[in-house]
A and B are shown apart, each in its own frame.
Chain A
């Protein structure tokens, strides 16, 4: 087509009227041959935040949110059932069963998405850079959040005592550590920073996905008083996940935080 040939007035495919200087039909999206030979990229557009990923179709965004809703809903449901059972029978060993059921649920979801979660758990991801990020995050968490929790305790806020479980169920120290430090660290990281964050990132983008997974993490602890502090923790663990591309540093920090708090309670 030479430069003298005018642009068509109607789309060749659907017949819709074309506006002046249109390169695409506004009704069917067909590319309009231009008088000059300039090429227009019709490929997926790079998002303005620079995060290039596969173009998420509307159906897959809805599916991603459904996965998050199911995982969140199931974890909340086990909390509801165990909480009611505990209020009826305070001597029951429901904490153990709740941890077990949550672990099974999370492992099922992680298995379904093993192609995404597996690489996040490889030991090779816990390299020197990851350890450096972990050290920075640990410093922030232990100093800043430690100060906040200390202040809240001084203000008289009652916190659930893990050592009360020791009294009720005659747990040994290692059982306490496994149930209240190790298990939450491993499974909560897989659930929130693994499965949920990957799905939320697909729908919301990285920054908003980071904020929302931290919010879900904080509210699922069921105590509004600690929403702000656990939201901050969720942000720190999420930051580690994003910067290192691994779940391992977050698991280590999460475990360390839980274990230190358990030991402090025991020996105060």
Chain B
């Protein structure tokens, strides 16, 4: 069942409910609103006569349920802080205020809080990336154990200082090559765990400062894809749809976080 609530002002409370195998229902101040859905839109009037409309729209990975009053997009209660205050003078404001009644600060439209939806999506994506990095690191570590052990057995016959044939234009001693091989196995685990920790820290930081956190997470994700592509160019096309979706969610999160920024930063 999906339920979405909007508090347009202290006298107007709208609820949308959709249970499985039942019709969509809209309630205004606890009373059901009669009307017809047309092309996923439901138009009705508020108690004071203002026109309102609920619309179902598809987004990147889910469906958005949007309310408009007088043509203005109204964010639902999940995205609106309980204590709304002017960012400049801290006076109490209401959701529909576009200017602070005390200091005149430009607040923007109520839709500015919709950005929080994209921010939450991006934060979830960052947490998911953290889990994926950790999983990949652990799995790859165990996969690489056998070939690493085989390579080390082949090198066992050489002393550490013995110089080997150049590999890709680089000359190694046996000792250096052993270290390199061991590092390639352990490094996969270390690097992925490090990336996982960084992503977890960024996901935590995005609760307070979403814009810088999502910017850095996007930059790291892009670099990881580029590094994989350099090591093995075939990975450019592997999972390209998933990569595009992740980038789209992160970029949307950046736009959402940008819309939440005030002039005071």
Q: Which of A19, A205, A220, A227 contacts B194 (CB 8 A)?
A: A227
Size of the chain A interface, CB-CB below 8 angstroms: 58
Is B33 an interface residue when CB atoms closer than 8 A count as contact?
A: no
Q: Given A90-B168, A158-B180, are A22 and B230 neighbors across the interface (CB < 8 Å)?
A: no
Stretch at the interface among A25-33, A120-128, A176-184, A237-245: A25-33
| Chain B, range 85-103, C-beta contacts under 8 Å to A | 88-89, 93-94, 96-103
Which residue of the partner chain, among A23, A25, A27, A167, contacts B103 with CB atoms under 8 Å?
Answer: A23
Residue in contact with B106 in the complex, picked from A29, A157, A227, CB distance below 8 Å: A29
A20 to B231, CA, bound (A): 67
Q: With an 8 A cutoff between CB atoms, is A6 at the interface?
A: no
Question: A41 — nearest CB in chain B belongs to which residue?
Answer: B103
Q: Tell me whether A23 and B102 are in contact (CB under 8 A).
A: yes
Number of B residues whose C-beta is below 8 Å from A? 53
| B60 adjacent to chain A (CB < 8 Å) | no
Q: Are A72 and B219 neighbours in the complex by a CB distance under 8 Å?
A: yes
How far is B185's CA from A158's CA once the two chains are assembled, in angstroms?
12
Contact assessment for A24 and B101 in the assembled complex, using a CB-CB cutoff below 8 Å: yes
- When C-beta atoms are compared, the residue in chain A nearest to B211 turns out to be A204
A61 near B230 (CB under 8 angstroms)? no
Contact A45–B103 (Cβ < 8 Å): yes
User: Are A45 and B105 closer than 8 Å at their CB atoms?
Assistant: yes
A80-B230, A222-B223 in contact; A24/B265 too (CB < 8 A)? Answer: no
**Cα separation A28 to B97 with both chains bound (whole Å):** 9
Instruction: For the complex, give the distance between the alpha carbons of A81 and B101 in Å.
Output: 55
Q: How far is the CB of B93 from chain A (nearest CB, A)?
A: 7
Question: Is B183 positioned at the interface, with any CB of A under 8 Å from its CB?
Answer: yes
Say whether B223 contacts A76, CB under 8 Å.
Answer: yes
| B-chain residues with CB within 8 Å of residue A55 when the two chains form the complex | 263
Q: Which residue of B lies closest to A205 (CB)?
A: B265
* A219, CB-defined interface residue at 8 Å: yes
List chain A residues, Cβ under 8 A from B211: 203-204, 208
**Can you list 14 pairs linking A and B with CB atoms under 8 Å apart?**
A19-B101, A26-B98, A29-B99, A42-B104, A45-B103, A47-B263, A58-B259, A61-B258, A83-B230, A90-B170, A203-B261, A212-B216, A219-B219, A224-B227
Q: What residues of chain A have their CB less than 8 Å away from a CB belonging to chain B?
A: 18-19, 22-29, 31, 40-42, 44-45, 47-49, 55-56, 58, 61-62, 65, 72-73, 76, 79-80, 83-84, 86-87, 90-91, 156-158, 164, 167-168, 203-205, 208, 211-212, 215-216, 219-220, 222-225, 227-228
Query: Which residues of B are in contact with A by a Cβ distance under 8 Å?
Result: 88-89, 93-94, 96-106, 108, 168-171, 179-180, 182-183, 187, 190-191, 194-195, 198, 209, 211-212, 215-216, 219-220, 222-224, 226-227, 229-231, 233, 254, 258-259, 261, 263-265
Apart from A76-B222, A220-B223, list 13 A-B contacts with CB within 8 A.
A24-B100, A26-B93, A26-B99, A26-B101, A27-B98, A40-B104, A84-B230, A157-B183, A157-B187, A204-B212, A222-B227, A225-B190, A225-B191
